Amino acid sequence: MANTPATSSSAGPVLRGLHNATIKRNLAVALGLTAVITVAFKILVNDPKKSAYAEFYQKYDANKSFERMKAAGRFQSC
């Protein structure tokens, strides 16, 4: 035991470039999540809203709506 060193000779952690490697990984994760969330928002929010507007205006008759509001007395000038 007298001949063995007090500390082991194993290599320490490699810290050179660790910050740059962490930034690269975080940037890749952030870009990937951004792409996934953007596509999910388009599919889950924008597409249903777009189709609801298209369906509404497909059946919408502006003249009929105007006559209904006119008959109800909504306009002062008519």
pLDDT in tens, 17-38: 999 999 999 999 999 999 999 9
List Cβ<8 Å contacts ≥24 apart for 68-77.
none
pLDDT average, residue stretch 2-14: 69
- Structure confidence at residue 9 as a pLDDT band (50, 70, 90): low
Contact at 8 Å (CB) between 59 and 51? no
Q: What is the pTM of this model?
A: 0.61
**What does 4-52 look like in DSSP terms, one character per residue?**
S-SS--------TTHHHHHHHHHHHHHHHHHHHHHHHHIIIIIHHHHHH
pLDDT in tens, 47-70: 999 999 999 999 999 999 999 999
| Residue found under tokens 């509001």 | 69
- Pairwise CA distance, residues 29 & 23, whole Å: 10
- Confidence at residue 2, expressed as pLDDT on a 0 to 100 scale: 60
